[in-house]
């Protein structure tokens, strides 16, 4: 179980070494198979729960590792270097763990936290709908008050873990006239009567991170299903977005690092025109470009994480990190594939998977177009300096 001293520089190095070793021994050897079969690796997640890789920032007393956002960023990068789908699961659990920590009642924390952090119960964060993606104001799922609780109706799509999840954290309208001020979050048993699951979607990348649709038809919820304050669900959801963006930026950085390592190793081994690829200046420049952008991405991510840890305004920094890292992962995984030549286009080569896995980092947790809007808005408000 990971429990390291806080605010000690050696802590972060030890943490990175631990997670990197786990990724090399337990994740990377099965990544291609998981991608090919789009399997959900329950045994792997159980092992990660035992090691303490879920709930990095959840306090010790609630069963987490009690560390900070910088530590979470390091864990996400190292896991994604092994396989982005596995890091994605860590990210989902971190956000749900944060919600339970900050807004859950003692009863909700007791009922769910231990099972969530140990991956005994698989969770889903249920926000996106057909008319509510980047624009959450389009949300149509409703929760209507009854004498003894609530009745949930509506549907969600593209929900992580929907095909396999036991518990959903569902954003629904509780005041149809109040727009953002009329939404609430409910904890929903996804095995309950009235809950239906759509088929598992077939994705371009991160294929072992399963997504699908959920529908709710007169699903009865008890009073205790409400997470946090009534009609504050939108703001509760927004409160974890900055950490979520740091997580995805870290994941994208891990993809870039994996691409750099694979491309460098191949370029050292492969010979063309009588010498190794790495001895050709043009290939050296391509590797240099990948390396400098991975380093820049890591620096931006760590800056955003430290701002969150120190209680400083971090919205713009988180958007910059997420936007840059996502764009970097797509562009530089493409360069890594190019260094492999025709081999990189063949399934079974790591760089082919990395290229596919990278694309979603420009889309989820707020598209990179949304991030640019946030950055631009903050520049207008605050000026060019922090």
Q: Could you give all domains of the chain from N- to C-terminal order, each with its CATH number? A: 9-121 (1.10.540.10), 124-233 (2.40.110.10), 240-382 (1.20.140.10)
Q: Which residue, 328, 306, 171, is CA-closest to 246?
A: 306
Work out the percent of the chain whose per-residue pLDDT is above 70.
98
CB atoms within 10 A of CB 217: 13
The residues annotated with a catalytic role in the active site are: 365
Predicted confidence (pLDDT) per residue in 190-202, tens digit? 999 999 999 999 9
pLDDT tens-digit map of 164-181: 999 999 999 999 888 889
Output the pTM of the full model.
0.96
Per-residue confidence (pLDDT) for residue 332, from 0 to 100: 98
Structure tokens at 256: 């870039």
Dump pLDDT digits (tens) for 24-60.
Answer: 999 999 999 999 999 999 999 999 999 999 999 999 9
């Amino acid at each position: 179980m990971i429990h390291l001293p806080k605010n000690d520089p050696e802590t972060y190095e030890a943490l990175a070494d631990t997670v990197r070793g786990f990724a090399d021994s337990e994740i990377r050897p099965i990544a291609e198979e998981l991608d090919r079969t789009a399997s959900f690796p329950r045994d792997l997640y159980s092992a990660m729960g035992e090691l303490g890789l879920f709930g990095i920032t959840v306090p010790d007393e609630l069963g987490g590792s009690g560390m900070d956002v910088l530590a979470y960023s390091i864990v996400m990068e190292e896991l994604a270097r092994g396989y982005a789908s596995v890091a994605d699961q860590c990210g989902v659990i971190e956000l749900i763990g944060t919600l339970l920590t900050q807004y859950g009642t003692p009863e909700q924390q007791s009922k769910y936290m231990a099972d969530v952090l140990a991956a005994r119960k698989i969770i889903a964060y249920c926000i996106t709908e057909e008319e509510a993606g980047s624009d959450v104001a389009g949300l149509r799922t409703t929760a209507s008050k009854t004498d003894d609780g609530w009745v949930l109706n509506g549907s969600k799509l593209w929900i992580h873990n929907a095909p396999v999840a036991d518990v959903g954290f569902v954003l629904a309208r509780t005041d149809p006239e109040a727009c953002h001020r009329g939404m609430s979050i409910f904890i929903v048993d996804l095995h309950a009567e009235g809950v239906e699951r759509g088929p598992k979607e077939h994705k371009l990348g991160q294929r072992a991170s399963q997504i699908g649709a959920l529908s709710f038809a007169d699903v009865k919820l008890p009073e205790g299903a409400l997470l946090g304050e009534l009609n504050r669900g939108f703001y509760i959801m927004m409160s974890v977005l900055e950490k979520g963006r740091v997580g995805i930026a870290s994941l994208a950085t891990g993809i870039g690092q994996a691409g750099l390592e694979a491309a460098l190793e191949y370029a050292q081994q492969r010979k063309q025109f009588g010498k190794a690829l790495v001895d050709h200046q043009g290939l050296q420049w391509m590797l240099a470009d990948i390396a400098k952008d991975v380093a820049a991405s890591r620096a931006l991510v760590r800056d955003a994480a430290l701002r969150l840890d120190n209680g400083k305004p971090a919205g713009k920094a988180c958007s910059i990190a997420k936007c840059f890292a996502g764009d970097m992962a797509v562009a530089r995984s493409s360069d890594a594939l190019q260094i492999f030549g025709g081999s990189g286009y063949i399934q079974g080569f790591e760089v082919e998977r990395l290229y596919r896995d990278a694309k979603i980092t420009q889309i989820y947790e707020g598209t990179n177009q949304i991030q640019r809007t946030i950055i631009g808005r903050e520049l207008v408000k605050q000026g060019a300096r922090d």
